[in-house]
Structure 1
Amino acid sequence: MGATKDEVRAPFPGASIVPGGIRSATMATTLDAPPERVWPWLVQMGTDRAGWYSWDRLDNFGRSSATRVHPEWQDVRLGSRLAANPDVDEYWEVAAYDPPRFLGLRMTLDLRGRPFDPDDERPSHHTDSTWGFHLRPLPAERTRLVVSGYWSLRPRWLRPPLSVLVLEPAHWVMQTRQFANLRRRVAGT
């Protein structure tokens, strides 16, 4: 959605984070604010923080996503964990951090939904993925936000059907909503 052919074909940051990963869908939008005003909204994401700015009943467990930038949630760095659920037992870890240009989040789970350390021995059945936010400045104080990432799944035979039937459609629905909500929020700051 919204990504140009060049954005889909161009190299996307974070390719080396997921060994053997394939590029996931690429989506993009233009925001009416410079990257420096968009960045604070991204780094405060997380279920235990500002939410994900998408469908709150689905991805934020019914809690409303923040409608303002919170200074107390801006201290994010490599290795920071952004909770993916209220129990904080699943999380996105900051795997790439280049303010205000690129934020790369990584989640590694076995197929029972338990996180594992990707530097240790990997479970035989697992998923390893990134969710990247690439911000490019545009004229007139605007930002081009391109979202993509890389994904690996074992067993490999499960990747095509799971991608086509579940992950890509769900990502499209959630990412589209996140873009719409981010447009409103950054325009108001």
Structure 2
Amino acid sequence: MVLAGLAVGYRVWLRPRLLTWGATGAEISRDMPGDDLQPEPDLTATRAVTIHAPPDAIWPWLVQIGPGRGGAYTYDWIENLAGLGMHSADEIRPEWQNLSVGDTISLGSSGPNMGVQVLSRPHTLVFADGEHAWVWALCLYPTGDHTRLVSRNRIVLTGRTSLQRVLFACVVEPGSWVMERKMLLGIKERVQRRALPDDTGTCHSIPL
């Protein structure tokens, strides 16, 4: 009975919050680029963060994401337990800025290859695996003096056994929240760490 109660509590109360961390109701319901690549997902996660900077200042961090590039701005040691070879950069590197549609980022030796499906500077970056069973969109929405960075994952679980689906719900979903929350905050921190000069030439950090 206790386990059943915990399971119900997780699905009804905690799970929706993990899958929509930081996102507003409008952002959760809004159509995003890449949605059409997987119109019938078994799982949709929409998470977001506010960054006090324009899209042009955020975009370079997004476009260099990936193993062997800028990393994922999250917990590298956890990523590397899976052999992903992630090393999160703390600087923008020119050689990692030339991402184009059709380019592929490999997530480890046994992980999926995520191809760039949509790239529209400086607002939209969409990845998908070969079967479009996983579509990941990173979009920037400017609002006044800040920008909303919204991440959406659309995932198909077709072909997985009941046990695999349970493990996915109990392990992968909470784990994805831990890692993606850190990623969004990691990008925010890196962007806002840069000091901006005021009219007198004095540099001030953007508030976190």
TM-score bracket relative to the smaller structure: 0.7 to 0.9
- 2:102 is paired with a residue of what secondary structure? coil
Unaligned runs of 5+ in 2: 1-20, 195-208
- 1:133 is paired with a residue of what secondary structure? strand
User: In the aligned structure 1, how far is the partner of 2:110 from the partner of 2:102?
Assistant: 15
Shift of residue 157 of structure 1? 5.9
Q: Relative CO higher for 1 or 2, CA cutoff 8 Å, sep ≥ 6? A: 1
Shift of residue 23 of structure 1? 5.0
| Native 8 Å contact 1:23 1:148 kept in 2 | no
1:57 and 2:77 correspond: yes
Shift of residue 160 of structure 1? 5.0
Q: Which has the larger radius of gyration?
A: 2
Shift of residue 176 of structure 1? 0.8
* 1:38 counterpart residue number: 58
| Native 8 Å contact 1:28 1:144 kept in 2 | yes
* 1:14 counterpart residue number: 34
- 2:33 is paired with a residue of what secondary structure? coil
What RMSD, in angstroms, separates the aligned Cα atoms of the two structures?
2.3
User: In the aligned structure 2, how far is the partner of 1:13 from the partner of 1:22?
Assistant: 18
| Native 8 Å contact 2:74 2:182 kept in 1 | yes
* 1:164 counterpart residue number: 169
User: In the aligned structure 2, how far is the partner of 1:37 from the partner of 1:129?
Assistant: 27
1:151 and 2:193 correspond: no
Q: What number of residue pairs does the alignment pair up? A: 170
C-alpha spacing 1:176/1:21, structure 2 compared with 1 (3 Å): same
Q: Deviations over 1:83-136 (max 9, x none)?
A: 312x4864321111121111111124xxxxxxxxx3xxxxxxxx8101111110
Unaligned runs of 5+ in 1: 109-117, 119-126
C-alpha spacing 1:18/1:41, structure 2 compared with 1 (3 Å): same
* 1:179 counterpart residue number: 184
C-alpha spacing 1:169/1:55, structure 2 compared with 1 (3 Å): same
- 2:45 is paired with a residue of what secondary structure? coil
What TM-score do you get using the length of structure 2 for normalisation?
Answer: 0.73
1:82 and 2:105 correspond: yes
- 2:157 is paired with a residue of what secondary structure? strand
Q: Which amino acid aligns with 1:77?
A: S
User: Runs (4+) of structure 1 moved beyond 6 Å?
Assistant: none
* 1:139 counterpart residue number: 144
* 1:67 counterpart residue number: 90
